[in-house]
Amino acid sequence: MNRMAIEVAGVHKSYGTQTVLDGIDLRVEAGSVFALLGPNGAGKTTLITILSTLVRPDAGTVTIAGHDLAADPDGIRRSISVTGQAAAVDGVLTGDENLRMMARLSGFTAPAAKRRASELIERFDLGPAARKRVATYSGGMRRRLDLALSLVATPPVIFLDEPTTGLDTRSRQTLWDIIQDLARRGTTILLTTQYLEEADQLADRIAVLDHGVIVAEGTAAELKAQVGGEVVELRDARGEVIRELPTDGSVEALRAAIDELDAFGTVDGTIGIRKPSLDDAFLALTGQPALTTPATQKEAVR
């Protein structure tokens, strides 16, 4: 068995003149949690739709659990499950019916499907709502059901596309526990997120995706180190931060930072030095600030 659960090489995808993915290379070790971190529009969802066989890439190769995307998409489909951004549940059916339908489609007999549905209902705390139509569920309940559907037949590789977007703090913590539990059982998990905290908490390795290119990859500690030894804060006369510059801590870099302060024409400016955070890494790599508070981002999923 290959040690790599997911191998992606040179994947390109364009829609018309817009290049969404511009040469993606990724290797995800079997049994690890890998986070794709990036701002909105970076290409995270496009990459997930390609890996989950929904969309063919324009160029490049993808191998998942030993199956080649071009030659054997059904082999990949047998090895994965996907939880998308829009909760993929059937609103007309009840939670119980959704789970049983998915179990039947995964090869369970009708009685086995019924048992599996009850297990998952209990596991994901859906008991009181199991016999209600999903259309009446709250956003958090839909997300939990969506994840339960993905785990009906536990596959070796799971894709989670922004799994906690729109969830309240408690639901998010539950989901994190479930993800960590799955990882301990040897499932390979590839998740996308806009939240540093989530990547930091869950992932063994993180790749930062920006404008269709992976701009950095490594553990959280490696990414922080990549920014440099220190961050220089430039403040104006009123003490407000006007610029944060990552430096390697050398005198030359500090001097360059001071030159930059001069270039702003700031009179009576001050400088400060601090250790970099993952936020700084993200900012330095993508040119925009990361989202740090999941609860306030995006509109809640209905």
Partner 1 sequence: MTALTVPVRPEHSVTPLTSAVVFVGRSIRHALRDVEALTMAIVLPVMLMLLFTFVFGGALDREGGYVQYVVPGIILLCAGFGASSTAVDVARDMSDGIVDRFRTMPLRSRGVVTGHVAASLLRNLLATGVVIGVALLVGFRPTADALQWAGALGVVALFILAITWLYAGIGLAAKSPTAASGYGFALLFLPYLSSAFVPTDTMPSWLQWVAENQPITPIIETIRALLFGRDPGSDLWWALGWCALIIAGAYVWAAWLFSRSAARR
89 binds partner 1 (CB under 8 A): yes
Which CB, 85 or 277, lies closer to partner 1?
Answer: 85
53 binds partner 1 (CB under 8 A): yes
| Residue 186: both structure tokens together | 């040897």
| Cα separations in angstroms, 245 against 99, 230, 240, 255, 297 | 51, 8, 15, 12, 26
106 binds partner 1 (CB under 8 A): yes
Q: Which of 59, 70, 92, 241 binds partner 1 (CB under 8 A)?
A: 92
300 binds partner 1 (CB under 8 A): no
| Residue 109: both structure tokens together | 């007999």
Instruction: Please check whether residue 20 is in contact with residue 46, taking contact to mean a CB–CB distance below 8 angstroms.
Output: yes
Window 225-264: contact mask with partner 1 (x via CB under 8 A): ----------------------------------------
Which CB, 78 or 235, lies closer to partner 1?
Answer: 78
Return d(Cα 79, Cα 93) in angstroms, integer.
26
Q: Which of 18, 74, 170, 267 binds partner 1 (CB under 8 A)?
A: 74
54 binds partner 1 (CB under 8 A): yes
β partners of residue 191? 35, 160
Which CB, 93 or 254, lies closer to partner 1?
Answer: 93
107 binds partner 1 (CB under 8 A): yes
Length of the chain: 302
Long-range contacts for 127-132 (Cβ within 8 Å, ≥24 apart)? 129/95, 130/94, 130/95, 130/96, 131/94, 131/95, 131/96, 132/94, 132/95
Which CB, 80 or 283, lies closer to partner 1?
Answer: 80
| Burial zone of 189 (CB within 10 Å; 0-12 exposed, 13-18 middle, 19+ buried) | buried
| Residue 87: both structure tokens together | 């909760």
Which CB, 119 or 222, lies closer to partner 1?
Answer: 119
Residues that bind partner 1 (CB under 8 A): 49, 52-56, 74, 77-78, 80-82, 84, 86-93, 97, 101-102, 104-108, 116, 119, 122-123, 133, 149, 151, 153-155, 174, 177-178, 181-182, 185, 187
